Structure 1
Amino acid sequence: MAQGRNKQGQIDLFPGEDPVLDPAPVGADATVHDILREKGGRKGAAVYAMATLPEPGRRAPVDLLAGPRGPRIIMAAAETAEALAATGAQEGAAGYVYSGWCLLGLPFRKPKGQAEHAWRIDTHYAAIVVEGGSKAMDDGSLRQVGVPFGAYARLIQVAIGSDCLERGSRDIELGTTAYAVLRRLGLPDGGKVADSVLEQMERLARCRVSFRIGSDTKGFVINDRIIEAFEYDTDSSRRPFIRRLRLSQAYYDSLQRHPVVIDRDAVGRIRNSALALDVYLWLCYRLPALDEDTPISWAALRAQFGHGVTALKHFKAPFAESLELARSVYPAAQFEVVPQGIILRPSPPPKKTRLIGTA
């Protein structure tokens, strides 16, 4: 069956013979993992979602699966379960990220105007300022390098931070060719996507970041470069790439003192969504630390994740979808979307949970 669209406008990501629809309804609290089990796997869940009319304004998982991003949520959840079944592992591939990135992230897309060279975001408890670096050219000019942005910048942070922390060294050898560097990072190694990854690598290497936890009158600030030094080269296609790098001492020390454990396989499955990556990192940071149910208002969520979104009504739907996409690769995450926002519940750190019926 060729890819098409259903009545909700979803793209069919699961071509092949359609299974018989199981029309038995699922509860509003059923997660995508529950639906995968109850409906016989990814195709059964996809068919059920295609036949479901979402309840307006409810934003329960089943409503989100019936929306435009439903197939991607189902696919990410099924891949998580299938990978576990194939390896028999009890946990995902461990990775680490500095806790500051779980509270405040980079721009989702390329900023415009002055924000491309000095970008800031604030919440009630923290602030981040990212300043783009500069590049001395052979002709004597100075070229401005903008701030890092998007999903690939986030994935690079996870990759280099995890590798350095696991080996106990600020230094990391990336590769002697652009292709080797991309493979080392576990990122796409061909075409324009590869060029974008290498560009984000350079933006990260040259930027300066200031994290502030607290207020104008009392707090704590980390103000330094992420990368202290790097060696670069150019491949046969005249693509510049970074061969090796050294994290700054301040950033490395902060990573050692405040690491958040994540699943590197999980971030790879949602690598095309910067918002879902930020939500996933935030859940990894907040949920294991909770002792009781904790409500978070829509206003607070928009302050942290709604970069550039002026109306709250335009924020709720994409955030709820990204929240469920994050849970698709973090099955142990416990939370509930309610009219006032979300309720976070104490949950174990991210690990792959054995799921049944996802063939």
Structure 2
Amino acid sequence: MAAAEIRQKPVVDAGELGFITNLFVQTSLPHRDVSWTATGEPVTAWTRRNGLFSLTIQNGQVFNEATKRHEYVGLPFGTYARLLFAWLGTEAVRTQSPRIGLGGSFGAFMRNLQIPRSGGPKGSEAALRNQLHRITRASLSWEYAGPVPRGATQRVDAGQRIFPIESHAVFWDPNNPDRHSTWESELTLNQVFFEHLVRHHVPVDMRVIRTLAQANAPLAMDIYVWLTSRMFTLQRATPMIPWPKLMEQMGSTHRNPSEFAREFKEHATKVLVLYPDAHLLYVKGGVRLKPSPTHVPVLAAVAAGPERG
């Protein structure tokens, strides 16, 4: 969708107000598939840090009837994993229920997500199925280790591990995406994850999320959500945010800060076309943010949920 179209019709009028858990603002999913090493060994977990907070995604497993062994399915990654988590968050906040219907057919589900369809092993249908398969089997751990807020000497070591998807039942025909099933496919979010999502979400414009997903730009999706979140609370210009810190937070598989800085600027350009009011400044060694109009109107965001960020 063209940027002009997004600007011309407010997000609420377009029915495109979406929500993402703030866990994926503080840290990020992998940008590419990092589920196996160069020698084919499974990567069992992926960790990102942001200061004293860390988020770990564990690789899920399924039982293979042919080999009679449990096998890793892979870590969620890329644009479709981000789009799925955004859609799930939006549905959970909208319905105020952890139980989310997926539709009577896979084709209907893709239309609901507004993903252009393409077949084959590398098409959008296979990619979306694969990411949903990974997400329904992955687990998340978040931890905080450091000083107690406003505490002089006390420290805390706290964390939690959950499966974000508590249960799922999918009845789609793998050979005919448009065949309607007798039963409705659905999944249920873990209650802890659901309650956190409802209380601590970031409002986004789903048109932007889809546009960046269709551009295969996972880093741009992360930058957009990060900027949107920060502008809701930013009262004054930030100090310089160094590239190494940003890379630790959302750098995913980048090898060094200079490589990350180049790619960040490239993807931020895509974001600023869609969110031109965001004041993102490049300075020596990193970036600064200045207070900017929120991309989602504050009143709309407040009306949609009890808390943000």
- Please report the TM-score for the alignment, with normalisation by the length of structure 2: 0.81
* 2:23 is the counterpart of 1:97: no
1:244 is matched with which residue: 181, 186, 203? Answer: 186
- State yes or no: 1:230 paired with 2:198: no
* In the alignment, structure 1 residue 218 sits paired with structure 2 residue 119: no
Determine the structure 1 residue equivalent to 2:282. Answer: 337
CA distance, structure 1, for counterparts of residue 242 and residue 289 of structure 2: 11
Partner of 1:194: 125
Distance apart, 1:132 and its partner CA: 1.3
- Corresponding position of 1:143: 71
State the TM-score, normalizing by the size of structure 1: 0.70
Identity %: 26
The answer as to whether partners of 2:243 and 2:286 remain within 8 angstroms in 1 is yes
- 1:25 equivalent in structure 2: none
Q: CA deviation at 1:267?
A: 0.8
- SS of the residue aligned with 2:100? strand
| Deviations, residues 162-210 of structure 1 (Å, cap 9, x unaligned) | 0111111111111222211222222233212210111001100110001
Aligned residue for 1:54?
Answer: none
User: In 2 relative to 1, CA 285–143 (structure 1 residues): closer, same or farther, beyond 3 Å?
Assistant: same
Residues 81-128 of structure 1, C-alpha deviation per residue, up to 9 Å, x if partnerless? 23443x476776211011111111111101032563311122323211
Partner of 1:323, secondary structure, is helix
Aligned position for 1:280: 224
Match of 1:319 in 2: 264
Q: Distance in 1 between matches of 2:288 and 2:110?
A: 38
Count the aligned residue pairs: 273
User: Is contact 2:32–2:253 with CA below 8 Å preserved after alignment?
Assistant: no
Which SS does the other structure have where 1:145 is aligned? strand
Is 1:129 aligned to residue 56 of structure 2? yes
Whole-angstrom distance in 2 between the partners of 1:115 and 1:126: 25
Three-state SS of the structure 2 residue aligned to 1:228 is strand
Instruction: Please state if 1:253 is matched with 2:176.
Output: no
Alignment of structure 1 residues 1-359 onto 2, 5 Å: 79-85=2-8, 87=9, 93-111=16-34, 112-113=36-37, 116-139=43-66, 140-191=68-119, 192-215=123-146, 217-235=155-173, 237=175, 243-271=185-213, 272-294=216-238, 295-351=240-296
Gaps of 5+ in 2: 148-154, 298-309
Q: Which structure carries more strand by proportion?
A: 2
Q: What RMSD over aligned residues (CA atoms) do the two structures have, in Å?
A: 2.4
Q: Is the 8 A contact 1:263 1:351 kept in 2?
A: yes
